[in-house]
Amino acid sequence: MFMLGCGAVNKTLKDGFECPKEQQIDDRGQVVDHPKYAHPEDCQKFYVCLNGDTPREQGCSDGTVYNEDQQRCDVPENVPGCEDWYKTDEKKA
What tens digit of pLDDT does each residue of 29-67 get?
A: 999 999 999 999 999 999 999 999 999 999 999 999 999
Question: Model confidence over 58-84: pLDDT tens digits?
Answer: 999 999 999 999 999 999 999 999 999
Measured distance CA(60)–CA(5) in Å, rounded: 30
- Determine the pLDDT at residue 2: 44
pTM: 0.81
Is residue 57 within 8 Å of 13, Cβ to Cβ?
A: yes
Q: How confident is the model at residue 10 (pLDDT cuts 50, 70, 90)?
A: confident
Q: What is the 3-state secondary structure (H, E, C) of the chain?
A: CEEECCEEECCCCCCCCCCCCCCCECCCCCECCCCEEECCCCCCEEEEEECCCEEEEEECCCCCEEECCCCEEECHHHCCCCCCCCCCCHHHC
